[in-house]
Structure 1
Amino acid sequence: MKIEDAIQQPQFTNAQQRAGMNVIFTANWLSNQYAAALKPIGLSLQQLNVLTILKGQPGHTAPVNLIRDRLIDRMPNVSRLLNKLMEKGLVQKDRTLSDQRVVHIRLTAQGEQVAEQGRTLFQSVAYSLTDDQAQLLNDLLTQLQS
C-alpha cells in the first residue's frame, strides 16, 4: 500500500518528506506486527529486548546502565520496565556489595526460556522482501542515520 493511501494524504511536498513519513509509518506497522506475535507469551517488544540483551551477556547478568544504553527503544523509565520483568519472575536484581548504587540485573531460568520463546515468535514475523531487498533496505536505513 502506498503511504498516500494509508494515511489519506494525496501528496507530499517532496520525496524526502514522503520517505520520512513512510519510514515512521512502516516502523509503527512493523512494531505492531511484533507486538501481536509476542502477545501469546505476554511480552512487549521492549521486554524482549531486555531479555535478549541479558541473554547475550556473560552469566546472563548486566548492570542497569548497560541495558539502558543497548535498548533499541531508549525510553526514560528503564526501572519500570525492569520491575515488570521482575514481577513476571524473568529477571532478578542484585546489588554490588562494594557499591550499593550499582544494580545488576540477572536473567532467571524462566527468563531464559521466555527469551527463547520470544526470539522464536519474533523471527516468525515475515514480510514480503527478498534477502537482496532487505539488504538494500538495511543499507539505505544505515545511510539515512549517518
Structure 2
Amino acid sequence: MTIEEEIRQAQFNSVQQKAGMNLIFTANWLSNLYTSALKPLDLSLQQLNVLTILKGQPNHMAPVNLIRDRLIDRMPNVSRLLNKLMEKELIQKDRTLSDQRVVHIKLTPLGLETAEKGGELFQSVAYVLSDHQAEELNGLLNEMRK
C-alpha cells in the first residue's frame, strides 16, 4: 500500500515531503511491530536497547554516559528509563569508590537472560525486504542523515 493510501492523502507538496512522511510512517509501523514482539517480556524498545548495550560491555557494566550516548532513541530522561529497569530487577546501579559522581549500570543475571530473550524476539520480527534491498535502504538512510 502506498503512503497516500495509508494516510488517505492525495498528494504532497514535494517528493521530499512525501519521502519524509513515508519514513516517519514506516518507522512508527516498524516500531509497533517490535513493541508487539517484546510485549511478552514487558519490555519497551528503549529498555531492550539499554539491556543490549550493557550485554555488549565488559562485565555487562557501563557508566550512564556511555549508555546515553549509544541509545538509538536519544531521549532526555535516561534516569527514569534506568529506574524502570531497576524496578524490574534487570539492572543495578553501582557508584565507583574513586569518584562517587560516576554511576555504573550493571546487568543482573535476570537482566542478561531478558536481554537474550529480547534479542531473540527482536530478531523474529520480519518484513518483506531482500538483503540487497535492505542494504540499499541502509545506504539511503545513512545518506539522508549527512
Give the TM-score, by structure 2 length.
Answer: 0.99
> Secondary structure at the residue paired with 1:93?
strand
Deviations 1:35-90 (A, max 9, x none): 00000010000000000000000110000000000000000110000000001110
Query: Aligned partners of 1:113 and 1:71: how far apart in 2?
Result: 20
Deviation at 1:13, TM superposition (A): 1.2
Extract unaligned runs of 5+ from structure 2.
none
> How much is the aligned-residue C-alpha RMSD, in angstroms?
0.5
Aligned to 1:80: 80
Q: Partners of 1:116 and 1:60 in 2: how far apart? A: 13
Alignment pair present for 1:90 and 2:90: yes
Instruction: For 1:132 and 1:68, locate their aligned partners in 2 and report how far apart those are by CA, in whole Å.
Output: 32
Moved beyond 3 Å, runs of 4+: none
Letter in 1 for 2:51: L
Matches within 5 A, 1:12-51: 12-51=12-51
Q: How many residues align?
A: 146
Q: CA deviation at 1:14?
A: 1.3
The gaps in structure 1 that reach 5 residues or longer are none
Pairwise CA distance, 1:99: 1.1
TM-score (norm 1): 0.99
Map of 1:123-134 to 2, 5 A cutoff? 123-134=123-134
Identity of aligned residues (%): 73
Residue type matched to 1:19 in 2?
A
